[in-house]
Chain A
Amino acid sequence: MPKIETTRSLFFSLLEQPPSSTNELAQALTVAKAELDHYAEDSSVIKFELNDTNRPDLWSAAGLARQLNSYRVASRDWGIRAAQRYSFFSTVDRPQSYGERHIVVEKELQKIRPFIVAFELRGSPLDEARLAELIQCQEKICANFGRKRRAIAMGIYNATRLSYPLHYRAAHPTENSFIPLDMDREYNLREILKEHPKGQEYGHIIAHQARFPLVVDQQGQVLSMPPIINSNDVGNVQVGDDQLLVELTGGDLQLLITAANVVACDCADLGFEILPVATHLPYDSELGRQMVSPFNRARQIDLKLDEASHRLGRAINAQEAEQSLCRMGFEVQAVDQQQGRITVIQPPWRNDCMHAVDLIEDIMIGCGIDSFQPLPPTDFTVGRLLPVEEQGRKIVSIMMGLGFQEMMFNYLVSGVDFIEKMYPAAKWPAIRAEMVAIANPLSEKYSYLRNSIIPNLLAVEGASANAVYPHHIFEVGKVARRAATANYGSLTSSMLGFLSAINHEGFSAINERISALMYYLKIDYHLQRSSDSRFLPGRCAEIIIEEQSRGIFGELHPQLLSNWNIETPCTAAEFLFGTHME
């Protein structure tokens, strides 16, 4: 979830009616699914946490303030004001004039990174606060919404030193070079991928291509190599700059347009004038071969009020729907009282309405959750536990009756504990092949799903030599084992494991406990001698139920105990019950 930081003074200056208390602010933020993150009334910095990962328009002070403002106005008035403030949008029918500001795209980019959109900003010289806003906006959009620059990368440039048209080129990696941001000499494009920190971080997005994306101006001056790095010259924006170019590249035109619109509206809110820039494509896109940004798709959405009433659990009338959708930033185009239908236009900075339910949620937020009274569930249903849970509980109560302490363990385990300390080296490959291994473990300690409980129990014993003896411990839990015939290649099963660390006890004592367990579970079983190397030879038995081996027990081998630094003799058992899950 994105977190953003801004100054209190900037944020409050963007609000039409600043809140009078922290509580009021926190309450107001809920309509944007935002939370205050460490904020004191007297601090100059405010941090927000944004929960909605599909609304990048909320990830900036300006965007958040825009949502809070529209919510407060709660009528078509706000839409009218917004249309005036954001009058720079082009639509399909009405493109804005872009003068000489245009970008020519090279054909080869279609298979590399096909789209680029841009616009210019003019205004009073940048101060620290607005520069910080711009940079944060860029970072959040590219990281979260832009899938770590894979889908969206954005660059900001000093526009006073650019000459149009700009060229979006597919450039040869070693035959082009420029001075990247924060470096002091020229590198060729391939070198930047290897040597610049951003090249190392994002290079994988384009490294496999024969040509790399490069933005240059009419004079051949390099602006940037998207999605990696700007040039250190025009791409190095400073406090005091008053004419800027914002450019975004990517492969998904819809995402790109939304991102560009979000940035443009934020900049307009920060006091910039927005000047459109055109893109000339040598191939087709859903918007044709020429598009002018920022671009308002003006997507029209119909909603049947019945549908909203049904999902929200109470009647929603047209007036309520209109008011609440205005609050959420929609432009209400038509209300058909008779048909019970409302038609809205999605604001250009939003593109999160995939289904009527998305509008219905906005109606809920617009009405306020408190306007919906909780109803107790009325459908009668029978509750029940799974049979394996019932069986597990029976086993827990028998084990407690036998004097055992119940334990609870993690299921992600280490190979050292579960393989190397448990078996002689010759057996490691075979045991590894029985376990579900993690391909991308975070650490060795959590690199396998456990296939057994005995090592967990031994870890307890190894860590508990100071606890009063004897130790009788058990766990009822899950294990996973490889199974060639299973759809997922493994099966999850329920297992009981128990261990006793006590002097002067041995096979006969644990044999008695197994016998008691089976007696109370009413399970017919017999024993079969086993040569499992984890146990002392000749003091280990498999539990056979209906011709199948369901468990094993015996005296643990001294080699095992010594591997775990245990100095008290131990007996242990494992027993599978219930059905396997796949």
Chain B
Amino acid sequence: MKQYQETISALHPLEAQLLLTLNKEEFSLESLRTATPMEPAQLNQALSFLQRRGLLEELSNEKRLLFAATPRAKEYHQRGLPERHILSWLHKRGDTSLAELSSALGVTQAEVGSAFGKLLREQLVVRKEGGRIALASATQANNRENYVTRLERLIDRGQREEIAQANLNEEEQRLMLEQSKKRGAAVALFRRIERYIVSYRLNHEGLRLQEALRATGVDGNEIGRLTPQMLRDGSWREQRFRTYNISIPPSRVLLGRSSPYADYLRWVKDKLVALGFEEFDGPLVESEFWNCDALYMPQFHSARDTHDVYYVAEPQQAREIDPRLLERVAQAHEYGGNSESRGWCYHFDRQFTKRLILRSQGTALSARQLPQAKIPGKYFGIVRCFRYDQVDATHLSDFYQTEGIILGEEVNLRTLLGLLKLFAEEIAGAQEVRYVPGYFPFTEPSIEVHIKHPTLGWFELGGSGIFRPEVTQPLGVEVPVLAWGLGIDRMALMKLGLNDLRDLFAIEIEKVRLQT
């Protein structure tokens, strides 16, 4: 019996109830309807459960004809049959016309006509000359009564059930076929239905399970849900609790979740805060002044062409750039100003510098920070930047840049290298670091840092350097400033298991749900 334990635990209460009512005899869905108190839908369900478990043997499967009462039959059941009204009228008042009958009985001529037609076929009435109608003289009163009563009984029965042809006697069958239609049954009393009736018997396995079930005492009336009421009144003590099927596959639960890319950016921010950096941010729209000029990028620099930055359509220019800073930056470009540089030696355009663009590099915010920075001071930002690039797997129109600065009396190349090493270890988890001379218009010296990432191998982690005096001096900073930028997107892609930058901004929910 032990082998049935798990099956019994998994039985639905309806299955258990049905299984316990069955015996060795043949049965069908129809026969069970009267044998169990279950609702038809429950019965259907329970039967199909048992069948699916392979506990039933199918004995026969035959087509049967059934008759279902129509709404018209229901109407007549309440109002009385037109046939009965016609016969009693004719009996009391003698012959008449169909039109008179129709108005006298308050029934449509069509209905009177139809009822009369049937009575005529039964030879209970006759049609006289001139269209008058009367009772058939040859028939007895009890013949008429029998006919009408039989019909009324069928209608009455039809209100409770579908009537199987097999359950009718010969006379009833004849009557039923006359009064029923397969299609267009609206005007008939019954609709004919053809249905396959299947009969079953519990098979050997079914009988064994039934026996095992009886032995456990489970009867399908066990408690499903534990209710507060049971806890309050203690009635749970008297209850048996249903066992549940634990192998049903659970349905999917959707949850609120963070974006893994956003998570990664927050993680980097936290790391930088832990290293003593204070966060900065700024507007998405920037002036040429802060984006490039303050960084000592000459106005003729090749990265400043129309095809390299997005220009704002309206307004095209900032209303004002701090005139004191503007003048000092302009001088640095033109002849070096007070920075001991010879400058770029060209005419600085003081209108062009007001041109509004979309920020193209995070360093713009480092420049903005300089005039208000503390000494010593460390600052960073992870900010959205915009590039004039065709969007593909390795280029986005807008993306995040991670940038920052360190100000201090004693910062120098070696502290810059130390900082890069710290980033390589803390943020990229790298063990090996290599420094290579680099080029940026705003730093000198400039250093690129390459790292050996545990999974990505050697790649360029970032660019850095010491701001040129032509950058810091005009903005009022007299101490050296280390500037750095980290390319963290490759590590983000790796962390998210992606290889296309566009997927960082995916718009398909399922894609984002499944990123880890």
Q: Which residues of A contact B (CB under 8 A)?
A: 30-31, 33, 51-54, 144, 147, 150-151, 252, 254, 310-314, 354-358, 360-361, 364-365, 369-370, 372-386, 388-389, 393, 396, 399-412, 436-442, 446, 449, 456, 459-460, 463-464, 466-468, 470-473, 478, 480, 482, 487-492, 581-582
User: In the complex, how many angstroms separate the beta carbon of B259 from the nearest chain A beta carbon?
Assistant: 4
Contact of A369 with B447 in the complex, beta carbons under 8 Å = yes
Q: List 16 A-B contacts (CB under 8 A).
A: A33-B439, A54-B439, A147-B300, A354-B342, A355-B339, A360-B444, A360-B445, A361-B437, A376-B418, A380-B376, A411-B386, A438-B358, A440-B310, A442-B397, A472-B256, A492-B282
Contact of B378 with A383 in the complex, beta carbons under 8 Å = yes
Contact of B507 with A459 in the complex, beta carbons under 8 Å = yes
Contact of A468 among B254, B274, B284, B480 (CB under 8 A): B254
* Contacts A369-B436, A374-B421, A405-B512 given; does A355 touch B341 at CB 8 Å: yes
What 9 A-B pairs are tightest by C-beta distance, nearest first? A313-B414, A313-B412, A379-B376, A361-B445, A374-B417, A383-B273, A355-B341, A400-B256, A489-B315
Interface set, chain B 369-408, CB cutoff 8 A to A? 374, 376-378, 384, 386, 388-391, 396-398, 406, 408
Cα A254 to Cα B343 in complex, Å, equals 13
Q: Is B476 an interface residue (CB 8 A)?
A: no
Cα A384 to Cα B421 in complex, Å, equals 22
Question: Known contacts A361-B446, A411-B398; can you find 17 more A-B pairs with CB under 8 A?
Answer: A312-B412, A312-B445, A354-B342, A355-B469, A357-B444, A361-B437, A372-B413, A375-B417, A380-B276, A381-B374, A405-B259, A406-B258, A437-B312, A438-B312, A439-B310, A449-B285, A449-B358
Cα A490 to Cα B512 in complex, Å, equals 32
Which B residues are CB-close (under 8 A) to A449? 284-285, 358
Contact of B311 with A364 in the complex, beta carbons under 8 Å = no
User: In the complex, how many angstroms separate the beta carbon of A352 from the nearest chain B beta carbon?
Assistant: 10
Cα A473 to Cα B513 in complex, Å, equals 10
Contact of B254 with A369 in the complex, beta carbons under 8 Å = no
Contact of A51 with B438 in the complex, beta carbons under 8 Å = yes
Contact of A439 with B316 in the complex, beta carbons under 8 Å = yes
Which A residues are CB-close (under 8 A) to B388? 442
Contact of A377 with B415 in the complex, beta carbons under 8 Å = yes
Contact of A487 among B257, B314, B318 (CB under 8 A): B318
User: In the complex, how many angstroms separate the beta carbon of B69 from the nearest chain A beta carbon?
Assistant: 37
| Chain A residue nearest to B409 in the complex (CB) | A379
| Chain A residue nearest to B399 in the complex (CB) | A410
Contact of B257 with A406 in the complex, beta carbons under 8 Å = yes
- Range for the number of chain B residues in contact with chain A: 35 or more
Contact pattern, B 289-320, Cβ under 8 Å of A = 1, otherwise 0 = 00000000000111000110011111110111
Contact pattern, B 415-437, Cβ under 8 Å of A = 1, otherwise 0 = 10111111000000000000111
Which B residues are CB-close (under 8 A) to A144? 302
Q: Is B283 an interface residue (CB 8 A)?
A: yes
Cα A144 to Cα B300 in complex, Å, equals 10
User: In the complex, how many angstroms separate the beta carbon of A317 from the nearest chain B beta carbon?
Assistant: 16
Contact of A581 among B281, B447, B508, B509 (CB under 8 A): B281
Cα A471 to Cα B513 in complex, Å, equals 11
Name the residue in B252, B283, B336, B508 with the highest tally of chain A Cβ atoms < 10 Å from its Cβ.
Answer: B283
Which B residues are CB-close (under 8 A) to A389? 269, 279, 281
Contact of A488 among B318, B336, B444 (CB under 8 A): B318
Cα A581 to Cα B255 in complex, Å, equals 34
Interface set, chain B 339-385, CB cutoff 8 A to A? 339-346, 356, 358, 374, 376-378, 384
Contact of B266 with A490 in the complex, beta carbons under 8 Å = no
Name the residue in B343, B344, B444, B447 with the highest tally of chain A Cβ atoms < 10 Å from its Cβ.
Answer: B444
Cα A313 to Cα B466 in complex, Å, equals 12
Contact of A438 with B437 in the complex, beta carbons under 8 Å = no
Cα A313 to Cα B255 in complex, Å, equals 53
Which A residues are CB-close (under 8 A) to B190? none
Cα A15 to Cα B313 in complex, Å, equals 52
Which A residues are CB-close (under 8 A) to B300? 147, 150-151
Once A and B bind, how many residue pairs between them come within 8 Å at the CB atom? Answer: 282
User: In the complex, how many angstroms separate the beta carbon of B491 from the nearest chain A beta carbon?
Assistant: 16
| Chain A residue nearest to B447 in the complex (CB) | A369
* Contacts A313-B413, A354-B342, A385-B273 given; does A402 touch B285 at CB 8 Å: no
Q: Is B498 an interface residue (CB 8 A)?
A: no
Contact of A51 with B255 in the complex, beta carbons under 8 Å = no
Contact of A53 among B277, B285, B441 (CB under 8 A): B441
Contact of B302 with A147 in the complex, beta carbons under 8 Å = yes
| Chain A residue nearest to B408 in the complex (CB) | A379
User: In the complex, how many angstroms separate the beta carbon of B428 from the nearest chain A beta carbon?
Assistant: 15
Q: Which residues of B contact A (CB under 8 A)?
A: 252, 254-259, 261-262, 266, 269, 272-287, 300-302, 306-307, 310-316, 318-320, 336, 339-346, 356, 358, 374, 376-378, 384, 386, 388-391, 396-398, 406, 408, 410-415, 417-422, 435-439, 441, 444-447, 466, 468-470, 480, 504-505, 507-510, 512-513
Cα A412 to Cα B274 in complex, Å, equals 32
Cα A456 to Cα B505 in complex, Å, equals 11
Cα A189 to Cα B128 in complex, Å, equals 119
| Chain B residue nearest to A461 in the complex (CB) | B509
Name the residue in B256, B302, B376, B441 with the highest tally of chain A Cβ atoms < 10 Å from its Cβ.
Answer: B256
| Chain B residue nearest to A31 in the complex (CB) | B437
Cα A402 to Cα B258 in complex, Å, equals 12
Contact of B356 with A383 in the complex, beta carbons under 8 Å = no
Contact of A405 with B509 in the complex, beta carbons under 8 Å = yes
| Chain B residue nearest to A353 in the complex (CB) | B342
Cα A377 to Cα B256 in complex, Å, equals 40
Contact of B278 with A383 in the complex, beta carbons under 8 Å = yes
User: In the complex, how many angstroms separate the beta carbon of A313 from the nearest chain B beta carbon?
Assistant: 3
Contact of A310 with B412 in the complex, beta carbons under 8 Å = yes
Name the residue in B272, B413, B468 with the highest tally of chain A Cβ atoms < 10 Å from its Cβ.
Answer: B413
Which A residues are CB-close (under 8 A) to B277? 381, 383
| Chain A residue nearest to B420 in the complex (CB) | A374
Cα A459 to Cα B507 in complex, Å, equals 7
Contact of B437 with A364 in the complex, beta carbons under 8 Å = yes
Contact of A439 with B281 in the complex, beta carbons under 8 Å = no
Contact of B311 with A492 in the complex, beta carbons under 8 Å = no
Which A residues are CB-close (under 8 A) to B386? 411-412
Contact of A381 among B255, B376, B441 (CB under 8 A): B376
Cα A372 to Cα B415 in complex, Å, equals 10
Contact of B466 with A311 in the complex, beta carbons under 8 Å = yes
Cα A446 to Cα B284 in complex, Å, equals 15
* Contacts A375-B415, A411-B284, A412-B398 given; does A401 touch B256 at CB 8 Å: yes
Contact of A384 with B273 in the complex, beta carbons under 8 Å = yes
Which A residues are CB-close (under 8 A) to B311? 438-440
Contact of A437 with B256 in the complex, beta carbons under 8 Å = no
* Contacts A379-B408, A488-B285 given; does A410 touch B398 at CB 8 Å: yes
Cα A376 to Cα B322 in complex, Å, equals 36
Cα A411 to Cα B504 in complex, Å, equals 13
Cα A356 to Cα B509 in complex, Å, equals 55
Which B residues are CB-close (under 8 A) to A314? 414
Contact of B509 with A471 in the complex, beta carbons under 8 Å = yes
Contact of B259 among A408, A411, A438 (CB under 8 A): A408
* Contacts A442-B397, A581-B283 given; does A357 touch B262 at CB 8 Å: no
Cα A473 to Cα B280 in complex, Å, equals 28
Cα A24 to Cα B301 in complex, Å, equals 33
* Contacts A374-B417, A374-B421 given; does A381 touch B378 at CB 8 Å: yes
Cα A466 to Cα B513 in complex, Å, equals 13
Contact of A364 with B413 in the complex, beta carbons under 8 Å = yes
User: In the complex, how many angstroms separate the beta carbon of B117 from the nearest chain A beta carbon?
Assistant: 53
Contact of A374 with B418 in the complex, beta carbons under 8 Å = yes
| Chain A residue nearest to B356 in the complex (CB) | A488
Contact of A381 with B259 in the complex, beta carbons under 8 Å = no
Cα A252 to Cα B315 in complex, Å, equals 33
Contact of B414 among A357, A360, A374 (CB under 8 A): A374
User: In the complex, how many angstroms separate the beta carbon of A471 from the nearest chain B beta carbon?
Assistant: 6
Cα A256 to Cα B421 in complex, Å, equals 42
| Chain A residue nearest to B257 in the complex (CB) | A405
Cα A439 to Cα B283 in complex, Å, equals 18
Cα A376 to Cα B437 in complex, Å, equals 20
